[in-house]
Chain A
Amino acid sequence: MKLVVYILKRLGLMLISLFMIVTITFFLMRSIPGDPLSHMARSLPEQTRANFMARYGLDQPLFNQYLIYLRNLAQGDLGESLAFPGRSVTETIGRTSPVSAQGGGIALAIGLVIGTVLGIIAALFRNRLPDYIVMIIAILGVTVPVFVIAPLLQLVFAVRLGWLPTFGWGTPRHMVMPVMVMAFLPIATYARYMKSSMLDTLGQDYILTAQSKGVSETNVILKHALRNSLLPAITILSGSIVGIFTGAFVVESIFSIPGIGTHFVTSIHNNDYTMIMGTTVFFAVLFVVMQFVVDFIYVLVDPRIKLMHETH
């Protein structure tokens, strides 16, 4: 019963949050300078202009536009792209996000595994050589901008060695380079996070107890420390998932991947209000839902957290 109340409460809050986000984004986007018709690059006759504006509801007072937007949104309709006439924003997101999710998901999984392993190694060999090596790898991974690594990889693996295609999407071979680039960030994040989480756990009394009880070092690490250090890592998962989508902005553009990142960057360049708004709303929904799911899993998994505290 407590659980149901908790879920309902969280769902309600999620809706309020989303409503506020949509409202803020809507009015922000409308305040951007620039003419949505400018891509037509020609002074259109008044009538044509008016027709066009009417088609997108841009002739209505701002508040009415807002209400229309909300109404359509409730039906899952994010409007029609301004820059690509005839394209539905909802469909475009529906088509592009799985591509990003696929590449990003693999990158995240790889990053999680490698990052966790590296983090554990660093923690166990704290202040010794392996620790330093891991931390330098982890930090270098995030210190070199993606738009530097990506063309470098292209040059080496595609142009010089000819092993991989330079651009595109679809086959596993296409995925190797973008996934490599995208995995750098989660590797670094999780390596650092796991290291400190592991150190934290290793300092806990129950580990000392286990050790003093004579549990073998391997057992201590696997059965006690690892499990308890992995738990907090779940909390940063929601952030990582969205990070995968936003990190794709640059990677997808460089590798010509038809994902949501490429679309978002293109919409910015095209002044495509409806597309920018739609994508923002999509990201917000994704993020809010992810946070909810992650919190929920966390509550289920970690016996120490009581629902009463969580809802406080």
Chain B
Amino acid sequence: MKKQRTLSFLFVALLALVVFAACNTNNNDNAAVDVPDAGTSAQDNQAQTNDIGEGALDTVQFLNLALGEEPRSIDASLTSEAVGGTILTNIREPLTRIIPLYPESGYMFEPAGARSWESNADGTVWTFHLNNNYWEDGVPVTAHDYVFSMRRTVAPETGAPLSFMLAPLLHFDEVNAGELPLESLGVRAIDDMTLEISLTSPVPFFMNLTTDRVMMPQREDIIALHGERYGSGGEFTIANGPFRIESWNQQSSIVLVRNEHYWDSDNVRLDTVTFHIMTDATTRHHAFEAGEIDIVAVTTRQWRDHFYGMSGVIPTVGVPTQTITYAFFNTDDELFQNENIRRAFMIAIDRVELNEVAFDGFRIPTYGWIVPSISVGEYNFREHAGDPIRELQANHPDPRELLIQGMQELGLGDDPSTLNVTFNLAGTDEWFRTLGEYLQQIYSVNLGVNMQINFAEWGIFFDNVQNGNFQIGFMGWGAFFNEPFDVLNIFMSETNAVHTGWANAEFDELINRAMVELDEWERLQLYIQAERILIYDEAAVMPLATTTLNSFRRDFVRGVRPSTFGDAVLKYHYTSGRP
């Protein structure tokens, strides 16, 4: 097995959960995707490592899992959701797959679509030698399928929501804008089995991209055959991964079976995987308890404790992710144009209490924009940067004073009870209700303002945010890889990806310098300064907590590879001792 350690600069590619998944799924625990255990907690590492490769296999190999919602599409170019990704990673083969190293920490990329790879000296040209893999109809997978797929994702008329993942490719900007033909994109097939990818400049995290859906192959003839229906159902797609879709019953289930044409089919032990589409959280919990599904995600303390008390169940609880839960201000708003008012709102929340009350203790209170697990090289970011929000809270024990100061600066008098503020939440279920009611009460007590909570479905919420028709909004953002740049660059003046309308020349300057700074310590310092401006000085965004993964599985589910990635591939899963 070919192992390749990642370069010292980057590391751990993180959740391949994309922006949308982050805002939509992670934020709404009720829609949580019950993917097979994407992580492991300290106490069961041992059990899991022992677990691999041991135990007598059951004669009938199958798994029953739950999907919190139906994938809108499994078109690798068009879907951006976590649920779509869960299916895709099992039916398609990306260039490589990422697996963790145990017992030592660190990660490696194992061969998948590619059997080996190399790059030129400066890391701008990568060559992949493909495995002898076949589509489920017996047609060989060629380099052309990968080229076609990437071109399709970047083509402007496709409107692929994740096209930006391919931004490191040569001429991405021009091709994506329609200024250059698709053929100019930095990807080509040298021959049927050799793929070459050219980058604009060396990108330390490039290998992480090779595991993502944007680098999965697609068949041109199949897309032409199905046209607009491509990816909308089991019969309108084609597999080349460990599994293929046996049936997709809308709003009911997606059944995967072993793909005999898959290059590594001998190592795939599950014959059938059934994803049941179950939107009701209570039903998912009941179904797990009744033994109808084998793995379940939990979102509340009561269910967690309940399952802890069950025998024959293995917990995977409290695994931190790289997704931050935050609120953000519309800095073009009459009131929130003032940084002192923003700071007052930011520090008025007791993050420990918020986590206990609204998140049921399931998240990690966070006092800066960068989540605790992110590092710059060997330096953990949070350890070195401190906690800007805690510091601000210590310097301003009474947030009300900051608020009044800000009000006076705007000429709004000094009575907070004259302020009417609206907080926008992207959900209407009881999870959001609890959060909203808590925020409403906390702000009226701690700041004395009149707080309205606007609950809306995601579409309406997002429309309001995009049009600047909001004061404070609430969302989640997931990091793609382990580098503060990944989550700080979205605040640069021209990006406005968080829709705050906030712009700061000094911040831009710091990020631009960090991008080219090769010394890790120096780069860390630049990031720290930038985060300080963003949070302590300007409070453009209000970080609240880091999300965690929490799930339980039946103890006969084996071969679960410990990892902190979102990759939900079931290639190595098997059951041993299923009753």
Contact = CB atoms under 8 A, between A and B. Distances in A.
- Chain A in direct contact with chain B (Cβ < 8 angstroms): yes
Interface of A: 32-36, 38-45, 47-49, 51-52, 80, 83-87, 92, 95-96, 151, 154-155, 158-159, 162, 165-169, 253-259, 262-263, 265-266, 268-271
Nearest to A269: B457
A270 B23 CA distance: 14
Contact of A42 (B161, B252, B279): B161
A166 to B, nearest CB: 4
Interface string B242-261: 00000001111100000000
Given A85-B228, A151-B282, A271-B459, A166 B157 contact: no
A166 B286 contact: yes
Interface string B279-300: 1101100110110100000000
Contacts of A43: 466
B53 interface: no
B80 A40 contact: yes
Nearest to B177: A45
A38 B278 CA distance: 23
A44 B287 CA distance: 39
A48 B152 CA distance: 13
B460 interface: yes
Contact of B283 (A42, A92, A162, A255): A255
B283 A167 contact: yes
Contacts of A34: 456-457, 459-460, 463
B441 interface: no
Given A33-B460, A33-B463, A83 B72 contact: yes
A192 to B, nearest CB: 30
A86 B235 CA distance: 12
A178 B230 CA distance: 34
B211 to A, nearest CB: 21
B431 interface: no
Contacts of A36: 459
A254 B282 CA distance: 8
19 contacts: A32-B460, A36-B459, A38-B462, A39-B458, A40-B20, A40-B159, A41-B24, A42-B20, A43-B466, A44-B161, A48-B159, A86-B231, A151-B286, A159-B286, A166-B283, A168-B253, A253-B279, A256-B251, A258-B249
B73 interface: yes
Contacts, number: 158
Contact of B289 (A35, A159, A263): A159
B157 A51 contact: yes
A35 B73 contact: no
Contact of A262 (B228, B251, B466): B251
Nearest to B71: A84
Contacts of A256: 251-252, 276-280, 283
Contact of A158 (B70, B158, B278, B290): B290
Interface in B146-180: 156-159, 161, 176-178
B278 to A, nearest CB: 5
Contacts of A257: 252
A254 B249 contact: no
B530 interface: no
A88 to B, nearest CB: 9
A254 B284 CA distance: 9
B250 A41 contact: no
Interface string B71-114: 01101001010000000000000000000000000000000000
B161 A35 contact: no
B462 to A, nearest CB: 4
B459 A38 contact: yes
Nearest to A170: B252
B460 A41 contact: no
B319 interface: no
Contacts of A270: 72, 457, 459
A266 B70 CA distance: 9
A47 B72 contact: no
A96 B70 CA distance: 15
Contact of B290 (A41, A83, A159): A159
Nearest to B75: A85
A87 B232 contact: yes
B134 interface: no
B236 interface: yes
B276 A167 contact: yes
Nearest to A49: B159
Contact of B457 (A47, A258, A263, A268): A268
A85 B276 contact: no
Contact of A266 (B24, B251, B282, B286): B251
A33 B278 CA distance: 28
A36 B367 CA distance: 35
Contacts of A271: 457-460
Given A36-B459, A255-B283, A47 B290 contact: no
Contacts of A87: 229, 232-233, 250
A267 to B, nearest CB: 11
B24 A35 contact: no
A258 B249 CA distance: 8
Contacts of A85: 72-73, 75, 78, 228, 231-232
Contacts of B279: 253, 256, 262, 265-266
B385 to A, nearest CB: 29
Contacts of A154: 282-283, 286
A48 B158 CA distance: 7
B534 interface: no
B464 to A, nearest CB: 8
A236 to B, nearest CB: 30
Given A85-B73, A256-B278, A269-B457, A41 B286 contact: no
Contacts of A255: 283
B157 A48 contact: yes
B23 A41 contact: yes
Contacts of B70: 84, 266
B216 interface: no
B273 interface: no
A168 B276 contact: yes
A241 to B, nearest CB: 22
Contacts of A95: 250
B80 A86 contact: no
A47 B160 CA distance: 12
Contacts of B69: 266
Q: Which of B228, B231, B276, B283 counts the most chain A CB atoms within 10 A?
A: B283
Contacts of A265: 279
B174 to A, nearest CB: 13
Contact of B72 (A84, A155, A158): A84
B287 A166 contact: yes
Contacts of A266: 69-70, 251, 279
A158 B19 contact: no
Contacts of A32: 460
A86 B156 CA distance: 19
A259 B251 CA distance: 8
B287 A167 contact: yes
Contacts of A84: 70, 72-73, 232
